[in-house]
Structure 1
Amino acid sequence: MKLTELEFFLEDFLLYCQSKNLSLKTLASYEQSLKLFLLYLKNEHEVIEPNKVKTGHIRQYIKYVQERGKYTVVGNNKSIKINHPQNRKDYKKTVSNVTINNYLRNIKVFFNWLHIEGEVRKNPVDSIKQIKTERRQKKEIKEDEFRLLLNQFDYTKFHGYRNKVIVMLLQDTGMRIGECLAIEADHIDFKHRMILLTKTKARKERYVYFSQQMSRELRHYVKFKERYTTVELLFPTTRNTELTIASFEKQLKQAGEEIGLSVHPHQIRNNFARQFLMNGGDLYTLSRILGHSSVTVTEQAYLDLTREEIAKKYHQHSPLSKWRL
């Protein structure tokens, strides 16, 4: 089937993104959200050329998504018969402003690229602003909750002990779950207590560091693992294959539900960042450890300490209390 002009440029844009070595997750986000937008332009406004897209079309698309609700806009009607979105509990529920802003960001990236390429004379996204969102406090996992969570894993079984060590490592290093599941045994430097991460979000290798306690646990786990598998992956499945993010998230969620705790891997990463700052760590070092592109990203993501935490930090570092007056 012949592509429309906008569809052709979208394919070209995705090839450009691939050449920039963007992550598969980012590419999938661009492709999915932009294909739905182009479908809307074609079906609702009969717009198939870049220069015909107006700022109003983008605003109306956002209103259209908000009114339709979750999982009601699809790129291929055949997928409805396969995925049955109407059976989901959140079907037609309001699309969050965070999700809407992700759509807007992707649309802006696409049209900014078209403008740089000289394919649009007037950029329709120039006056488009992000929707104001209310910043929600990140849920802290307290020490006693974390201990209870670890106790939900059956240490006598390979997958149970593996999951316990993964959770401990996420809390001790702040790495992303995808980075963690890609670690190979020879990436660990026990002498300097650091791990080389090779599959990162930014596609740049970096080191994370682990504690003495984690070192003891890792050494024990590596010996334990060698009795069950010969693969290089540090955290494989019992079938010697790579443990997927979705599978681990499901097992972690089940463990959390046993103690009434709603938990996911990124929450543990957030917990590491919070504890690092509360223990006197600085933003610059935290940014490097987390693999953020800049300190600003770290600041925006993690400077949401509670009033009690700010008070505690103040009392630890009050200048006057350190002086003998």
Structure 2
Amino acid sequence: MQGYYEHFHYLNDFLGGDVPNEEVSVELFRNYIGYMLNDQGLKPTTVNVRIRTNRAFLRHCYQEGRNEIPIHEKFKPIKTPEDEIQSFTSAEIKALLNQIDDSRFVGFRDKVMIYVLLDTMVRISELLNMRRSNVDLKYSNV
């Protein structure tokens, strides 16, 4: 809910205060998008978060009969390029693993953690929260 209030506040700042219901239009929101991108220099992903919360509010207003026109259907989040995830090369992984002294417990632990991360694609937070009680080796298919 806090995000909705915050994003509505940004819109309200752009509008300079309350606007009569009759003045709420698709053009108003297209201008708001341009303002965020060009005047404020916000990243498209930030603009899209704000647009999505405003569209949800407008959808609610339409469903409750407060708006006669489904404005939320007339403007969409802007297209953004997909983030390219950079991964380690095989050589970089080998170089990383070669730096670990696995003759000591901490080195062996670190190497096992790296192998688990690479083999399972589990998130680091999930790996760190894993406990012995979470693993059932008796009924494992391994």
* TM-score over 0.5 (shorter chain): yes
Query: For residues 65 and 53 of structure 1, what CA distance do their matches in structure 2 show?
Result: 18
Superposition deviation, residue 127 in structure 1: 0.8
Equivalence for 1:124? 71
Larger Cα-atom Rg: 2
Structure 1 unaligned runs (5+)? 1-13, 15-30, 71-94, 195-211, 213-325
Equivalence for 2:94? 147
Equivalence for 1:170? 117
Quick one: which amino acid aligns to residue 96 of structure 2? Answer: L
User: Secondary structure of 1:138's match?
Assistant: coil
Aligned counterpart in structure 2 of residue 68 of structure 1, from 40, 43, 48: 40
Q: 1:150 to 1:51 in 2, by over 3 A?
A: farther
Equivalence for 1:37? 7
Superposition map of 1:249-288 within 5 A = none
Quick one: which amino acid aligns to residue 61 of structure 1? Answer: Y
Retained in 1: the 8 A contact 2:62–2:68?
yes
1:100 matches 2:72: no
Quick one: which amino acid aligns to residue 118 of structure 2? Answer: Q
Superposition deviation, residue 154 in structure 1: 6.0
| TM-superposition CA deviations, 1:208-256 (whole Å, max 9, x none) | xxxx6xxxxxxxxxxxxxxxxxxxxxxxxxxxxxxxxxxxxxxxxxxxx
Query: Percent identical across equivalent pairs?
Result: 27
Retained in 2: the 8 A contact 1:51–1:122?
no
Count of residues in correspondence between the two structures: 139
Q: 1:123 to 1:136 in 2, by over 3 A?
A: same
Superposition map of 1:188-267 within 5 A = 188-193=135-140
1:54 matches 2:25: yes
Retained in 1: the 8 A contact 2:45–2:80?
yes
* TM norm structure 2: 0.66
CA RMSD after TM alignment: 3.5
Superposition deviation, residue 178 in structure 1: 3.7
Structure 2 unaligned runs (5+)? none
User: Secondary structure of 1:189's match?
Assistant: coil
